[in-house]
């Protein structure tokens, strides 16, 4: 695959939002939907934003949508779909439920990835927990992730075995705040 394009961005929207009880990506936020705001931040940093998920659900947003080629395999399957459909060397992957994500932060992440020499750059918040659903993946990850999926691996960090993964410490954890339940959404909105 030609990786002449330096960066591309993807937003994972393929989940069922079962704990939320409705589509998290469609939650209203600052006059738009959450996925529109996240896609705008991703595009600011990566030059593009493509949604990975059901086209029939998101076609009306006017954003490119690629159907998940491995539905039911969770975020790791969505990441593989993004990498398979990308012509870029570095691919920014973000979940659709990160309301505090901003383009400037994601641009710093992508700059760090390009300078890292890694296959994957995963930020870690103050707790040290990796945040693989707000991370940069080089196209070199595609085959290893595909092989992991074939071996029934579903946890994103386990799917990166054998790759050079570099962590990127981030002092503030608010970038990674996600909303999965109605209670978390209320708490976020009442902030």
pLDDT higher than 50, residue 41 = yes
Q: Tens of pLDDT along 133-168? A: 999 999 999 999 999 999 999 999 999 999 999 999
Q: How many domains does the chain have?
A: 1
pLDDT at residue 3 in the model: 56
Domain coverage including residue 74: 5-190
Q: Tens of pLDDT along 7-19? A: 999 999 988 888 9
Q: What is the dihedral of CA 54, 55, 58, 64, to 10 degrees?
A: 120
Q: Of 62, 63, 80, whose CA–CA distance to 71 is shortest? A: 80
Computed from CA positions of residues 19, 124, 129, 136, in that sequence, does the dihedral angle turn out positive or negative? positive
- 3 close to 83: Cβ distance less than 8 angstroms: no
CATH number of the structural domain spanning residue 117: 3.90.550.10
Judged on CB neighbours under 10 Å (0-12, 13-18, 19+), 98 is buried
Q: What is the pTM of this model?
A: 0.94
pLDDT higher than 80, residue 88 = yes
pLDDT higher than 80, residue 59 = yes
Q: Which two tokens stand for residue 30?
A: 């600052």
pLDDT at residue 151 in the model: 97
pLDDT at residue 173 in the model: 81
pLDDT at residue 70 in the model: 87
pLDDT at residue 1 in the model: 44
- In angstroms, rounded to a whole number, what is the distance separating the alpha carbons of residues 33 and 130? 26
């Amino acid at each position: 695959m030609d990786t002449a394009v330096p960066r591309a961005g993807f937003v994972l929207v393929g989940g069922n939002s079962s704990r939320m009880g409705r589509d998290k990506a469609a939650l209203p936020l600052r006059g738009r939907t959450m996925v529109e705001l996240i896609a705008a931040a991703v595009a600011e940093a990566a030059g593009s934003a493509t949604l990975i998920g059901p086209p029939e659900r998101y076609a009306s947003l006017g954003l490119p949508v690629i159907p998940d080629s491995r539905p039911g395999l969770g975020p790791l399957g969505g990441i593989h779909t993004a990498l398979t459909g990308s012509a870029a060397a570095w691919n920014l992957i973000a979940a659709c439920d990160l309301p505090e994500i901003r383009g400037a932060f994601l641009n710093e992440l992508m700059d760090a990835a390009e300078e890292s020499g890694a296959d994957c750059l995963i930020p870690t918040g103050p707790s040290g927990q990796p945040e693989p659903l707000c991370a940069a993946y080089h196209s070199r990850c595609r085959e290893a992730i595909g092989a992991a999926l074939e071996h029934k691996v579903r946890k994103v960090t386990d799917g990166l075995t054998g790759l050079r993964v570099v962590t990127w410490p981030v002092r503030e954890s608010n970038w990674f705040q996600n909303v999965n339940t109605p209670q978390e959404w209320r708490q976020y909105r009442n902030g």
